[in-house]
Structure 1
């Protein structure tokens, strides 16, 4: 089968489109003929990490049709359309993943959207509701709001009746975020985000911050109201995750770290993703796809995802 692989960590150019052996479907797995691959932030980070073996296939998320099932699998069948998540291997024509990390794709849902939804919307929901406890009428600050998790958080928070302050750069992207439900969009290159947040909230600060960047954590805390909640998820900005904790202690603020990983297999989280897939198929939610590349151009797709400031997910088609 064809796959995008790398042997040495580095920039997008390390990816090569080559023939590799097809994966083996384990007893608890399903083998998927991949139809759409979502490039996730973790894929870009992992590509810069030392691979575990030669011709390493990176990739967290994809959707496709089940072509084989393991002997222990009872709730999946050959021919079903599924979205899937795992820690590696999605950048390929075939992908073997645990059946517990798959979701049935409802009729009417495009496979690119199905591939991009579980990680972005599942993570956003967990951050907003399960950990963040967002309620109607509250105000939320979303860092890196033009990314997959950020866009999902805007849509979900707006649907809950929250006031959304989003951070993103570029006039076209800012207009799009406003159309998706952001009440205010701040450009961190042109604004002091903390000052603007305090101005917009009458000096109170926001009730909740969702921060997938990492390097913005101190600013996120400074924009938070007393007894507010900060949920930090990922480290897209790179570097150390360092914050001064005296202020949040004095202000009785709560910090929640989120790393989804195996959480997707928990029944409550898994069921939430099922509902989000149904909502998207019924046009109650929108999964924003910025651009689609063929898998053979994986290096170009990664380059675009890293440098072009896409609005939403970048998808590849085998």
Structure 2
């Protein structure tokens, strides 16, 4: 997840110290990676999750302000927490209606990286607001460049940082491969915090 999060924040998001980052689905694998990388880079980090418990746990990874997307109006909360400005960089692995909310949460000249469709909604988006705000929406798929030297170096750097306890990979739970359906049900229940692994 760190390679994908790194590309969202830096290759496409051009994150600078002092900027504000919003990480959608903060308790996901990519979300937890993005939170750690953004905080380390000197950003103010906002993140969303579905429960107060998850938001409390996210604070230990560097989240400055948590937003419960079940109870709170996301766009209003982002605007409130940024004095009406919005987030400079947004990482969105959810898509669907969440992506539309991300678009409306961007600051002027903000950069939004769409990195997945975990919500699986098929939604037509109004992107005209991006033009008026000189904003950028990038689709990010690390797999398209997986054989490049750049990505190999990026992944190796993050593997070394995990091995040296500079970054943390969070494993929520493991399931035997024959219980793949149960693993998927666990993920879809929104109870997972971090990665869910299938063991052959």
TM range (shorter): over 0.9
Q: Please identify runs of 4+ aligned residues in structure 1 that moved more than 3 A.
A: none
* Alpha-carbon distance, 1:241 to partner: 4.4
Correspondence 1:153 to 2:34: yes
Which among 200, 203, 215 is matched to residue 84 of structure 2? 203
Structure 1 gap segments, 5+ residues each: 1-119
Correspondence 1:169 to 2:55: no
Matches within 5 A, 1:188-267: 188-215=69-96, 216-267=98-149
Cross-structure match for 1:183: 64
TM-score calculated relative to the size of structure 1: 0.61
Cross-structure match for 1:307: 189
SS of 2:14's equivalent in the other structure is coil
SS of 1:180's equivalent in the other structure is coil
Counting helix residues as a fraction of each chain, which structure ranks higher? Answer: 2
SS of 1:182's equivalent in the other structure is coil
TM-score calculated relative to the size of structure 2: 0.95
Distance across 2 between alignment mates of 1:257 and 1:316: 27
Which among 119, 127, 137 is matched to residue 8 of structure 2? 127
Distance across 1 between alignment mates of 2:147 and 2:29: 20
SS of 1:265's equivalent in the other structure is coil
Asked if 1 retains the 8 angstrom alpha-carbon contact of 2:21 and 2:89, the reply is yes
CA displacement 1:239-287 (0-9 Å, x = unmatched): 2242212211111111111122231211101110001000000000000
Matches within 5 A, 1:1-318: 120-215=1-96, 216-318=98-200
* Residues matched between the structures, number: 199
* Alpha-carbon distance, 1:308 to partner: 4.4
Greater gyration radius = 1
